[in-house]
Structure 1
Amino acid sequence: RKFACYCGVAPFEHTSGISIRGKTQTSSLANKEVKVYLTRAAITAISWDPQMKAYYKRKIAEGKHKAVVINAVRAKIIARSFAVIRRQTPFVTLAV
């Protein structure tokens, strides 16, 4: 979660007391270079990874905005990467 925040992937809501104003947004203080690389990886994953492609199509069919779904794919890539590092095993794809 901290790395996702550092990369500018984690969304934050604008709150003031009990009111929530506007949509959630990512931080503008993010490491933009890492964010660009993650965006390119997300677009490539949507094109070539069957799981990510199915996820992307499902979210678009639900009416989500494309940028929001790409941000979610970036978060999934970060989560997968940290899971591989934590488990110290190669990533295994499951059948869709």
Structure 2
Amino acid sequence: AALCGASPVERSSGKQQRRRLNRGGDRQANAALYRIVQSRLRWDPRTQAYLKRRISEGKTRREVIRCLKRYVAREIFSLLPRTELTPIGP
């Protein structure tokens, strides 16, 4: 999520505890995560149920989308092929 700029960063002031998305990272990957989340919100019943549940808990739609982007980033990362590092030299 940090590589895509979808990880949370503290942005609190006074009594209000907030987080925002990391502005660093690959912005194109972040945009791809956003498109995936939008597609899931439109067609996936599990994602729609998650949105309703989190909104009833007091989260805003924007905050829920941030959470979903992190979930998607974790899913995609687990699907990436692993390469083993081999030592160079004797």
What band does the TM-score fall into relative to the shorter chain? Answer: 0.7 to 0.9
Moved over 6 A (4+): none
Aligned with residue 31 of structure 2, among 12, 32, 36: 36
Aligned with residue 9 of structure 2, among 12, 15, 29: 12
- Pair member with larger Rg: 2
Partner residue of 2:71? 76
The alpha-carbon deviation at position 83 of structure 1 amounts to 3.3
- Letter of the aligned partner of 1:63 in structure 2? G
Aligned with residue 61 of structure 2, among 41, 63, 66: 66
Q: What do you get for the CA RMSD once the two structures are aligned?
A: 2.4
- Letter of the aligned partner of 2:51 in structure 1? Y
User: Under a length normalisation based on structure 2, what TM-score does the superposition of the two structures give?
Assistant: 0.72
The alpha-carbon deviation at position 82 of structure 1 amounts to 2.8
Q: Distance in 1 between matches of 2:52 and 2:17?
A: 26
**Structure 1 residues 84 and 30 mapped into 2: Cα distance closer, same or farther (>3 Å)?**
closer
Give ranges in structure 1 of 5+ residues lacking alignment: 87-96
Q: Secondary structure at the match of 2:54?
A: helix
- Letter of the aligned partner of 1:83 in structure 2? S
Partner residue of 1:90? none
